[in-house]
Amino acid sequence: MDRFIEQLPKVELHLHIEGTLEPELMFKLAKRNNVSIPFDSPEQIRQAYQFENLQSFLDIYYQGAEVLIEEQDFYDLTWEYLLRCQQDNVIHTEIFFDPQTHTDRGIAFETVINGITSALKQGEKELGISSQLILCFLRHLEESAALETLEQALPYKDKIIAVGLDSSEQGHPPEKFARVFEKALDEGFLTVAHAGEEGPAQNIRDALELLQVSRIDHGVRCSEDPLLVERLIQEQTPLTVCPLSNIKLRVFDTMADHNIAELLRRGLAVTINSDDPAYFGGYMTDNFQAVHQALSLTKQELAQLSVNAVNASFISPQAKEDMVSKIWHYQDNY
Ligand code: ADE
Ligand code: ZN
């Protein structure tokens, strides 16, 4: 089954590019850019990755991002991630970036987006990996800051398919950004939002109603609201679930307690994603393996998770059809 999972064609829909910063690259960029970090080696950085909850992770994650200064740094970060995609047979990826994490430190929006998109272009050309970019607003910051960021994004509309919402969920509900998302929708962006990761099921309802999202990022706490689960099944709302992240951030105690298999078997459009793989100990294949080992998914169910991701992606109907047949063909002939 290890080889089946490794070679299964995959689509990633929940990946923070800043969360792919491996300790080795962090260490290298800190030196290259003369940024001081409180670690003497990549091993020491790795040892510091013990988290109690979402906030304890975010504190370390925002600190780590401070080594990213030049366009080349964003390029290197993205290119390293794409090489991991190639290893895991990820054929399409939709990547989040958090401009405010960088613009608040004086890095130009343009520097960030140019570095990321030039690597994505090369990834499409040389590795055959297609991609889309999703701008996330940091929900712990003010509505006015998100509106400013949206303004900065307008000249790059052709490079950004959607806007999203991430960072500290508790205390920062979807309604805080209803007007920002309304404007983003008016400007032609699609919308997604992190909801029901650490926050209550009500945040999932509000993201659907107030932010008009096409997908819910995480969404695993939907199980606390049976009527909401029924609605998610009926409407086939995609959930971008991140299994290893959920264990590292203690959303579930162990993988055996994770609800992804139950949600899949009930007919929800769940998908598997890696979130912040450099911090949570695994990329796409590792996430599929961990879920398979703990919850005994069949080959058919693993392929279904991949097909769900294709159907939930922001690519053309023709590209979806091609990818779906590729996955079933792989499953049928393995
Ligand atoms: N930013 C990066 N990873 C995140 C997560 N899992 N939840 C919220 N914000 C994030
Ligand atoms: Zn996330």
Between the CA of 193 and the centroid of ligand 2 the distance, in Å, is 9
Which residues have a Cβ under 8 Å from the Cβ of 234 and sit 6 or more positions away?
none
Of 271, 269, 196, 197, nearest to 234 (Cα)? 269
Between the CA of 99 and the centroid of ligand 2 the distance, in Å, is 15
Name the catalytic one among 197, 230, 235, 301.
197
pLDDT of residue 1: 80
Cα 40 from chain centroid?
29
Ligand 1 pocket, mutate which of 13, 275, 280, 287 (most atoms under 8 A from CB)? 275
Taking the chain (334 residues) in runs of 10, the rounded mean pLDDT of each run is 96 99 98 96 95 96 97 98 98 98 98 98 98 98 98 98 98 98 98 98 98 98 98 98 98 98 98 98 98 97 98 98 98 96
pLDDT of residue 25: 98
Instruction: Take atom 10 of ligand 1 and give the residue whose Cα is closest.
Output: 167
Is 43 known to be catalytic?
Answer: no
Note the ligand closest to the C-alpha atom of 15: 2
User: How far is 45 from 47, CA to CA, in rounded Å?
Assistant: 5
Residue 242: CATH number of its domain: 3.20.20.140
Of 216, 242, 110, 103, nearest to 164 (Cα)? 216
pLDDT of residue 290: 98
pLDDT of residue 211: 98
Note the ligand closest to the C-alpha atom of 97: 1
Between the CA of 260 and the centroid of ligand 1 the distance, in Å, is 18
Residue 332 lies in a domain: no
User: How far is 160 from 135, CA to CA, in rounded Å?
Assistant: 7
Residue 49 lies in a domain: yes
pTM: 0.98
Domain that holds residue 308: 2-322
The count of domains in the chain is 1
Between the CA of 198 and the centroid of ligand 1 the distance, in Å, is 10
What is the DSSP code (8-state) at residue 65? G
Residue 260 lies in a domain: yes
pLDDT of residue 213: 98
Residue 229 lies in a domain: yes
User: How far is 7 from 18, CA to CA, in rounded Å?
Assistant: 26
Residue 328 lies in a domain: no
Instruction: Take atom 1 of ligand 1 and give the residue whose Cα is closest.
Output: 167
Residue 225 lies in a domain: yes
Give the binding-site residues of ligand 1, using a 6 Å CB cut-off: 16, 19, 54, 166-167, 194, 197, 245, 275-276
- Which atom, in ligand 1's list, is nearest to the CA of 16? 2
Between the CA of 166 and the centroid of ligand 1 the distance, in Å, is 6
Q: Cβ–Cβ contacts within 10 Å for residue 135, how many?
A: 26
The DSSP secondary structure of 228-286, one letter per residue, reads HHHHHHHHT--EEE-HHHHHHTTSSSSGGG-SHHHHHHTT--EEE--BSHHHHT--HHH
Ligand 1 pocket, mutate which of 14, 15, 57, 96 (most atoms under 8 A from CB)? 57
Residue 327 lies in a domain: no
Residue 331 lies in a domain: no
Collapsed DSSP state (helix, strand, coil) of residue 172: coil
